[in-house]
Amino acid sequence: MSDIPAPDFNDPKQVAAYNTRVMAAMEAEEEEFWANYNPRTDLPTWTDEEMEAHPLYMTHTPTEEEMKTNPNLLALESLIEETPPQERCENFKERGWIRTLKTSQKVMGQAIDELKKSRERREKEKLEDHGETAEVDSALEDRSISIGPVIYDFCSQYGSCTPVLDHSSGLLLWPILFLYDSVMQTDWQKSVREDVKLKQIAKDMFPNKGCVPWDTKKEFVYSNFQAYLECYVEESDDTVVMVKLNTLNIRLGKILKGRRLVGMAVFHLIPKTDVATIERFEDENRIEMFQEN
């Protein structure tokens, strides 16, 4: 993996692409290891005859000759003979074939019941997941929203990137990734109702200047943000556009409507007072002004 060039750690896209290449290289190394793996062949093994001669693995009833000559059988017999007759009777009664058979049947019955319950539970969960997925797909279609390939791999760290349908209100609950390009920081909101305005979301995160330790310039406050929605151009999965919002006083659902998302809802927030970062961001990306429908 040493031949993979290091990315520009100030560029989130390069970092994400670098992580993908590193993971691919690690998987390739693991596949090569197992392809060339040779298990040990010098370990001692038993022949079929040795297995058959051992009391634990015998598939036949020992003959009289074997009872006299097989050392393992002789050892077992001596242990039995050393046991007092009364104790032997109790052992046969407690561990006899009939008791063992009944116990085995009981255990097997319990195991079968557990397997049935487990299978029924998995089938129920599968049906529920399928039903919920179908409902979410229908809700997205009603809003003309589609979800393309993931660009930023935060799902494995924070959980599902897909929205959830709130049955009580009929609203979608969105996980949102916020990127702060000027300071290379991120935020993750796990579940945001689509009827909430972006301004309120920003206010919950940055109610006052200097409320986070990395805001050394005291610029991160909800009233000082220029926001961009990152999404794909129409039905493309290759070309990305930054939709520039002229205000944060817009409901989340209205912003996302008709868009093809980059695997999830992704917003870039840059302080309006950081003019240099805004200019660089808009020079490096394709910008489209948000038009309310």
Q: Exposure string (b/e) for 183-220, b if CB count within 10 Å is 16 or more?
A: beeebebeebebebbbbebbeebbeeeeeeeebeeebb
Least Cα distance to 189 among 273, 129, 269 occurs for: 269
The predicted structure's pLDDT at residue 236: 77
Write down the domain spans for the chain: 48-110, 147-289
Q: Which residue has the tokens 């390069």?
A: 14
The predicted structure's pLDDT at residue 87: 65
Segments of 162-282 assigned E as strands: 164-166, 171-180, 185-193, 225-232, 240-245, 260-271
Q: How far apart are CA 235 and CA 80, in angstroms?
A: 80
The answer for residues whose C-beta is within 8 angstroms of residue 226's C-beta and 6 or more apart is: 244, 245, 269, 270, 271, 272, 278
Domain over 147-289 is classified CATH 3.20.20.80:
no
The predicted structure's pLDDT at residue 243: 96
Cβ neighbourhood burial of 239 (10 Å; 0-12, 13-18, 19+): exposed
The predicted structure's pLDDT at residue 98: 52
Q: What is the pLDDT along the chain (293 residues), one digit of tens a residue?
A: 556 777 777 777 777 777 777 787 788 788 887 777 776 666 667 777 877 777 777 777 778 888 788 887 777 777 666 666 666 566 655 555 555 556 666 666 666 667 666 666 665 555 555 456 888 899 999 999 998 888 887 665 666 778 999 989 999 999 999 999 999 999 999 899 999 999 999 999 998 887 888 998 999 999 999 999 999 997 778 899 999 999 999 999 999 999 999 988 999 999 999 999 999 999 999 999 998 76
The predicted structure's pLDDT at residue 96: 53
